[in-house]
């Protein structure tokens, strides 16, 4: 076995650990157990394919897909934080995630490492159309899931309406046709008491 293949297999095995990172999202179809970040990554990758026609700028769906497949891998070391945690916690998390990206993507051979690290940073920085659409997909899916589950993780964690509006803002520019849908759903959730108002 070449050194390159040995490194690739180590990376593939490392990925198994993302299946043990649990999020606040609930899986209605599986007795409302917590969702893990591996299955979430699968779900948003496919969500991006299905909703790609709504992207405002021309996005490269294969780059978006790869971004979404890798976007949470850093949680193997850094853990998942809830999207609506205090910003101090979220700031500390960013440092941990950068170190995690270096270690985990660093398992790959040199020929593959830099491309993946760069793609992960592009997603995090959310400045390119591909990254903004990927972020938008990462935001809309929990909304779709919570709307089918009596508020799901919003209701369980007493999340405010304005927090969900802020978090979904990427959609306003990167997929404006979905933005109206999202605002309507947020209003319904608020009426039902699944989202808090001040």
Interface residues with a copy of itself (CB under 8 A) are: 1, 5, 8-9, 11-13, 15-20, 27-30, 35-36, 38-39, 41-43, 45-47, 49-51, 53-54, 61-62, 65-66, 69-70, 108, 111-112, 141, 144-145, 148, 177-178, 181, 184
Give the number of other CB atoms < 10 A from CB of residue 196. 15
Determine contact, residues 42/66, Cβ cutoff 8 Å. Answer: no
Q: How far is the CB of 86 from a copy of itself (least distance, A)?
A: 28
Nearer to a copy of itself (CB atom), residue 70 or residue 83: 70
Nearer to a copy of itself (CB atom), residue 12 or residue 99: 12
CA atoms within 13 A on the CB side of 95: 4
Q: How far is the CB of 5 from a copy of itself (least distance, A)?
A: 6
Nearer to a copy of itself (CB atom), residue 65 or residue 81: 65
Residue 127: CB partners within 8 Å, gap ≥ 6?
none
Q: How far is the CB of 148 from a copy of itself (least distance, A)?
A: 6
Three-class SS of residue 38? helix
Nearer to a copy of itself (CB atom), residue 11 or residue 170: 11
Report the distance separating Cα 130 and Cα 111, nearest Å: 23
The 3 state secondary structure assigned to 156-184 is HCCCEHHHHHHHCCHHHHHCHHHHHHHHH
> In the chain, what is the greatest distance between 2 CA atoms, to the nearest angstrom?
61
Q: How far is the CB of 198 from a copy of itself (least distance, A)?
A: 28
Q: How far is the CB of 101 from a copy of itself (least distance, A)?
A: 15
Q: How far is the CB of 88 from a copy of itself (least distance, A)?
A: 30
| Residue 30: DSSP 8-state | G
Nearer to a copy of itself (CB atom), residue 113 or residue 196: 113
Nearer to a copy of itself (CB atom), residue 132 or residue 152: 152
Locate the DSSP E strands across the chain.
22-27, 33-36
């Amino acid at each position: 076995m070449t050194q390159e293949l040995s490194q690739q297999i180590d990376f593939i095995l490392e990925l198994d650990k993302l299946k043990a990172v649990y999020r606040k999202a609930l899986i209605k179809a599986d007795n409302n157990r917590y969702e893990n970040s591996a299955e979430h990554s699968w779900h948003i990758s496919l969500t991006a394919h299905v909703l790609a026609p709504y992207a405002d700028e021309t996005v490269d769906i294969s780059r978006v897909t790869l971004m979404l497949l890798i976007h949470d891998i850093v949680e193997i070391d850094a853990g998942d934080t809830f999207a609506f945690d205090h910003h101090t916690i979220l700031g500390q998390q960013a440092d941990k995630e950068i170190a995690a990206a270096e270690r985990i993507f660093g398992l790959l051979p040199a020929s593959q490492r830099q491309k993946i690290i760069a793609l992960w940073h592009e997603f995090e920085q959310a400045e390119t159309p591909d990254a903004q659409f990927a972020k938008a997909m990462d935001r809309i899916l929990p909304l779709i899931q919570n709307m089918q589950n009596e508020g799901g993780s919003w209701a369980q964690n007493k999340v405010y309406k304005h927090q969900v509006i802020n978090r979904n803002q990427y959609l306003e520019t990167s997929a404006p046709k979905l933005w109206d849908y999202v605002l309507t759903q947020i209003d319904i959730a608020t009426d039902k008491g699944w989202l808090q108002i001040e």
